[in-house]
Structures are given as structure tokens and as C-alpha cells.
Amino acid sequence: MLFHSVLGDMDQKLRGFEAGCVNCITKPFDSREVLAGVSAHLQQRYPPPTCRSSRSPPTSASPAATKAA
């Protein structure tokens, strides 16, 4: 959760963090800061997929191999 406040009061910020906030943006702010913060939170929540190596494609176990294990 992000929150924006016109209040720079530390008690207000702490109340926000206690309520579950992970970032606070106070005025005046730069739009680049807001976009960078939102981007960072989205990357943490939805990490980019990792690439698989093309050298060894995934294989399924054969029924005989499953029974032997």
C-alpha cells in the first residue's frame, strides 16, 4: 500500500506505516519519484519471469521410470 499525504508530520507517517503502508510520499514530490516507487512495488509483487536455458528442455518422466522410483 502506498499513501500520499500533504502532512509532513512524522506521527501521521508512522500511523500510515502501522496501518500497513510500505511507502509514503509527501508534497512537494517529483513525478519521477512516484513512478519509480510504484514500479519498484510492482516488481516486488509481480517479479519478471526467469528465462529457462534452451540447452535442456523439461522432460516428463516415463511411467516405467515413475514405477522404478
Q: For residue 40, what pLDDT is reported?
A: 85
Which cell is 20 given? 500497513
CA distance 12 to 5: 9
pLDDT tens for 32-45 read: 988 888 888 888 88
- Does residue 25 come out as left (phi exceeding 0), alpha (psi in the -120 to 50 range) or beta? beta
Q: For residue 41, what pLDDT is reported?
A: 83
With pLDDT > 90 as the criterion, what percentage of the chain qualifies?
0
Provide mean pLDDT across the span 9-28: 82
Provide mean pLDDT across the span 8-14: 80
Q: How confident is the model at residue 64 (pLDDT cuts 50, 70, 90)?
A: low
Q: DSSP 3-state helix, strand, coil percentages of the chain (rounded to 5)?
A: 45, 10, 45
Going from N- to C-terminal start, the domains of the chain cover: 2-45
